[in-house]
A and B are shown apart, each in its own frame.
Chain A
Amino acid sequence: MSLLEVNDLTVKFYTEEGVVNAVDNLSFSIDRGEKFGVVGESGAGKSVTALSVMRLIESPGHIESGEVLFNGENLLEMSDEEIRSIRGNEIAMVFQDAQTALNPVYTVGEQISETIRHHLGYDETEAKERSIQLLDTVGIPDAESRFSDYPHEFSGGMQQRAIIAMALSCDPDLLICDEPTTALDVTIETKILQEIETLADEFDTAIQLITHDLGVVADVCDRVMVMYAGKPVEKAPVEELYYDPKHPYTVGLMSSIPRIGDERERLQTIPGTMPDLVDLPSGCSFHPRCPYAEESCTRSEPALVDPETGAVATDDDEHVAACLEYTGELTDGLGYEVTVRDSSDDAEVETVAGAKASSAVDTDVPDAGGDRRD
């Protein structure tokens, strides 16, 4: 049995502009101790997915259908009391703006101790010891004296580490990290990601890492789900996603990973922005931005299929993608290649746009740019 199993989750928000299709028929599972990445741009539905798992969707949001099984029990059917005891104890969450989760008027140490006392019933001395130990584990130097510092005395990176320490303090089975390093410098980002990874191994905690940056996922995760406009468009083990991406959107995300020391002009980023989730494009939601879109892409919505056979995806399939190419409905096919270049020590993936550079369909392509933050 998987630790977390999300089945056919659909979440909508009822706003005066219209109904926002935030998450549409989403299924995925995370095994015990597994590191699972969820990737996509803003508006892909990544955070809403995470908030649904924590049952933190509030009005005007509604979980319209689906189930979220944690250790086999449906979180969506639990009482408020039951879900509260799961949150923080068995599932913990670290947000991008975790700093705001620290209360400025209490010392960092007090806040971690309080969590430990509350959830684990430790006495004051035990909780303090455990907190110092955790601060030390997440790499806060001189943890014993920093225990009494206030949040403003910590740097951004240290605040984020303190939050991770707090999240890990109750030894959760699942740690959901929502853009945990986006607000931080690149060097601190790398360190924090390494720490999350090491800690997850040490504590045997499963990680759901949500990010807009495919590069971050490559460093940390075992398996990845790429989301677009509230739907999964590709799921694969991380190496396969890198060396053999099957969905044009994944390819677009890969092309826009910046590479240190690479002086060449960055390959094409994906033109346009995520569609309005109130009025999704017909057919494949990605068609207005897809360089390989054909007329059929505006008429049929591709299902997640096994790209080798075109058969509808099952739980057993490791690598699945949602593009009409794999059900034989494209005339010209996908025109990208992936080449693996050997740089100094790492293998590197380069994506090259194929011969068919632009779509043959008359669609509106909004201005390039978008709201990516990379």
Chain B
Amino acid sequence: MRRIYESDALHRDDDPHTPNEKDTSRRVQAVRWVNSTLLSRLLLPTGIAYRAVSVDISTPNDEFAPGESVPFVVTMKNSLPTPVTIPTESLVLWTWTVDGVPEASHVPLRDPPDERGAFVFDRGERKQFHKRWDQRFKVGNDEWEAADPGTYTLGAEFNVPAADEKGLSSETIVEIRSD
């Protein structure tokens, strides 16, 4: 007979997004009780917080065959030896774009609650997000179109007003070949 500690009961892995579960790979940033948020707000003016954090987007290649998935990595870093909080416009903390189109979708993907968010970085923390663009644009609620051959700008930016002026955005160019 299985005892509780031999079973999966204590490590519930049914749904990775159940809210009562601690998942370290997707740390919650929007909760108000994160002490480092408060701490960094007390210690750091927002202007310095902006300067402390950098973002970079990169792809393994510059050229891709038509239809081939374009993988990209978004790296964010806090260069200060103290926690930093970037206040964001909504609970969406950052976004990626293709030619300025958020998440390659011409239709709104969500309707976030009317609440501001907080993107928290520990001292010297580096965060990395691995994503891919499947060379398609969403053009309707249930419709997608393939991107034509040509060059495209992949971008990543924090969800703050005028992210590029604050140095909280990054871009890279890829080419979809016509072969």
Contacts and interface: CB of A to CB of B under 8 A. Distances in A.
A147 B69 CA distance: 60
A35 interface: no
B12 A97 contact: yes
Interface stretch (A8-16, A138-146, A216-224, A313-321): A8-16
B20 A58 contact: yes
Contacts of A59: 19, 28, 30-31
A155 interface: yes
Contacts of A156: 1-4, 7, 9
Q: In terms of DSSP, what is the predominant structure of the interface of chain B?
A: loop
Interface size class of B (residues with CB under 8 A): 35 or more
A184 B2 contact: yes
Contacts of A94: none
B7 A183 contact: yes
Given A13-B19, A42-B13, A18 B129 contact: yes
Given A14-B92, A16-B119, A282 B15 contact: no
A17 B9 CA distance: 27
A291 interface: no
B42 interface: no
Contacts of A185: 1-2
A256 interface: no
Nearest to A62: B113
Given A14-B92, A16-B29, A277 B17 contact: yes
A48 B14 CA distance: 10
Nearest to A99: B4
Contacts of A12: 110, 112
A51 B19 contact: yes
B45 interface: no
Given A59-B28, A60-B31, A298 B136 contact: yes
Interface stretch (B77-85, B142-150, B163-171): B142-150
Contact of A16 (B1, B27, B142): B27
